[in-house]
Structure 1
């Protein structure tokens, strides 16, 4: 697999030199400064490519993450063809620059959602965490969304109310900021009234409606991507469950099957995110990888440890609930199959996803979930798994 690294651009606290020192050669990035729905111009793409290549470390822009989908496309609101046309133009400009793998998501309003950025681990390391009672306290008692208390146990509601009643204004502001932290490249950061207004735009949109809006988007852009020799790969929902009453449609194997069938083309593929899918107790992530291996064009490798109440925490890359060795084996098997068949896109770009804050990472102003040393450790561990599996297979072939 191509060992890659997410970089948020020149303002990232983690430099390109650090990415190369970690052992990565592929860079995963986006043009975060361009508003959603606008065309990515050739000169902007070329400038970012030059920034990545300039240090002379053998780095290249391997994957776009993300080419954002405008919120009106998800809602199905207003005239959409101009937005589809802009997306196709951006694809053409990226393809002309030799960038052919595009990760995107279809999560309404928010990307990944956590309630705690600094859950303390033994030795003082820090992890991202989703505490269900804090999420419910926000949704039910801060956001005051009608029906937000439905479907939860008495224990969760009691803990949510206890947290809310004991929280200071600073605690509540911190929870709002934590929930917004999953939007590193977005322009919108909502306060409570703003989030309510945004959710109102989705009123009446259910699971099937959102699926229909995704189908319309795919039918509009996948043929262009296929003609350009590109691969679009949708990112799963994080967490893989409805959030603030919003539907989520990329949360399980059936969701993935439905999406890949909407436009049955190699250009309509999947970003295999083991952490996002792994937060759903019903998901067997290695089995999902093997089932959809032929349409996986990009992989985020991380792990989560789930609690019985629905909470979860970012675990060590080789810890947590997903068998990472089996998952890596599934991806390596698919790469071997592609090579034997002489297929294009034989090498799957992967990156170590969310890492723990450890050592000198603690207190450094990196993007939440993207410290340097924690991801360096994750990449080293994953590299070791890949090397061991490849060595074993070479001896038994």
Structure 2
């Protein structure tokens, strides 16, 4: 597998020279500075690739080429947005970059309520606390319909938290929820978030699926022509949130997507953490079912609570059997290699990580520390090396 590292370009306080010391040789990046819906120009792509190559890396995956919200809601004249998207694809392909990770989550990307939850032994992690999310939805946002999404116990704890929370506590909660948005665009205050949510008032699961299918029909034929691979990232968390439908949360959702436009280019980013936050998901089994459509993998782990809360665990210590998952991915690589595919290797990156040691003294992108991800990469590297050795000598 191709050991890779997510890097945010000029927005990233971690330098490529530091990444080089992790041993990773693939870079996963994007042009986060370009607003959604605008074309990624050839010169900008080439400049980013030159920086990556000049530091000794290959740019192996785009994460991500964002989808404009109008495409998700199906509103306005979408032809220019689809044309711009396909042009960005063509410009990436012209620079030899052919794998695109993307998501179809309405409005928000990954969502957490705490960016610095303590972990045993010291350090911090990202956490989704059910009662804090309920407090945000019901008491701060004023979305009373949210009461139906939580148990009475969670709602009671939400009310208690809100009553004792300071203005600083509430501001910190909003900032944590907004932190999952990549790049420099579309951060919301409470009134702004209410207005943005209003744009989804008439969008239910069926409507969002229809808009997603239209997107796939617009871009996957172009991906086939360009020799590109698209890989959808699962919802994070894998549940409806803020009244917004989530449609990439389990095996049934993934199966629907793969069949909506049934082509090898229409694939999956196997995110162990996102899928693992749903108690009903068996992540290694999902990986095995869709192995031939996995074009990219995010390897991280989560530890779940009964009330719907979860937090980022150490890469080998959460609820997902990471060794079993790695075995599935290595077996799929071997199958592709045996079939004579030159592109048999699957890029992966250690996703998220605990903020530990010197990470705690730096201002870093939440969830993307240096030492914490290095620890995860080293652990995953060891697992894969052992499994590969066993396969070769078994």
User: Normalised by the size of structure 2, how large is the TM-score?
Assistant: 0.99
- Please name the residue that 2:279 is paired with: 281
Q: Of the candidates 260, 263, 283, which is equivalent to residue 262 of structure 1? A: 260
Q: Does the 8 Å CA contact 2:284/2:324 hold for their aligned counterparts? A: yes
Q: In the aligned structure 2, how far is the partner of 1:374 from the partner of 1:173? A: 27
> Deviations for 1:321-374, whole angstroms, at most 9, x for unmatched residues?
000000000000000000100125311000000100000101411100000000
1:120 aligns with 2:118: yes
Contact 2:72 2:211 in 1 (8 A): yes
Residue aligning to 2:145: 147
Q: Give 1:278 deviation, angstroms.
A: 0.1
> Alignment partner for residue 383 of structure 2, among 376, 385, 393?
385
3-state SS of paired residue (2:147) = coil
Moved more, 146-155 or 179-188: 146-155
What's the counterpart of residue 19 of structure 1? Answer: 19
When structure 1 is superposed on structure 2, of 341-350 and 253-262 the one drifting more is 341-350
Normalising by structure 1, report the TM-score: 0.98
- Aligned mates of 1:157, 1:262 — CA distance in 2: 38
Closer, same or farther in 2 for the Cα pair 1:137/1:108, shift >3 Å? same
1:234 aligns with 2:223: no
Q: Tell whether 2:63 aligns with 1:53.
A: no
Whole-angstrom distance in 2 between the partners of 1:172 and 1:61 = 39
Give the equivalent residue in structure 1 for 2:131. 133
User: Aligned to 2:14, what secondary structure does the other structure show?
Assistant: coil
Q: Please say if residues 298 and 350 of structure 1, whose CA atoms lie closer than 8 Å, have aligned partners that are also in contact.
A: yes
Q: 1:16-66 CA distances to partner (integer Å, 9 max, x unpaired)?
A: 1111110100000000011110111100001101111223xx301110000
- The aligned residue for residue 70 of structure 2 is 72
Unaligned runs of 5+ in 1: none
Distance 1:186 1:235, change over 3 A: farther
| CA apart distance, 1:178 | 0.2
- Residue equivalent to 1:163: 161
**Which whole-Å CA distance do the structure 2 matches of 1:72 and 1:345 have between them?**
34
Q: Give the one of 338, 341, 346 matched to 2:339.
A: 341
**Distance (whole Å) between structure 1 residues aligned to residue 120 and residue 134 of structure 2:** 27
1:62 aligns with 2:60: yes
Q: Aligned ranges for residues 1-397 of structure 1 at < 5 Å?
A: 1-55=1-55, 58-396=56-394
Local SS of the residue matching 2:139: helix
Number of residue-to-residue matches in the alignment: 394
Q: CA contact under 8 A between 1:297 and 1:345: conserved in structure 2? A: no
Q: Which runs of 5+ in 2 are unaligned?
A: none
Question: Displacement of 1:15 after TM fit?
Answer: 1.1
Contact 1:125 1:357 in 2 (8 A): yes
Q: Deviations over 1:293-324 (max 9, x none)?
A: 00000000000000011000000000100000
Contact 1:300-1:350 at 8 Å conserved across structures: yes
After superposition, the CA RMSD in angstroms is 0.8
CA, structure 1 residues 392+29, in 2 after alignment: closer, same or farther (shift >3 Å)? same
- Tell me how far 1:146 sits from its aligned partner: 3.1
SS in 1 for 2:267: strand
- SS class of match (1:124): coil
1:192-247 residue CA offsets vs partner (Å, 9 max, x unmatched) = 00000000000021111101000000000100001111000000000000010000
Contact 1:184/1:367 (CA < 8 Å) preserved in 2? no
CA apart distance, 1:124: 1.9
**C-alpha distance in structure 2 between counterparts of 1:351 and 1:145, whole Å:** 36
For residues 227-269 of structure 1, the C-alpha deviation after alignment (integer angstroms, 9 at most, x for no partner) is: 1110000000000000100000000000000000010011100
Give the ranges of 4+ consecutive aligned residues of structure 1 lying more than 6 Å apart after TM superposition. none
Offset, 1:151: 3.7
Deviation larger for 23-32 or 336-345? 336-345
Per-residue deviation at 1:186? 4.5
SS in structure 1 at match of 2:116: strand
Q: Distance in 1 between matches of 2:120 and 2:344?
A: 40
Checking the alignment, whether the CA contact within 8 Å between 2:11 and 2:183 is kept in structure 1 is no
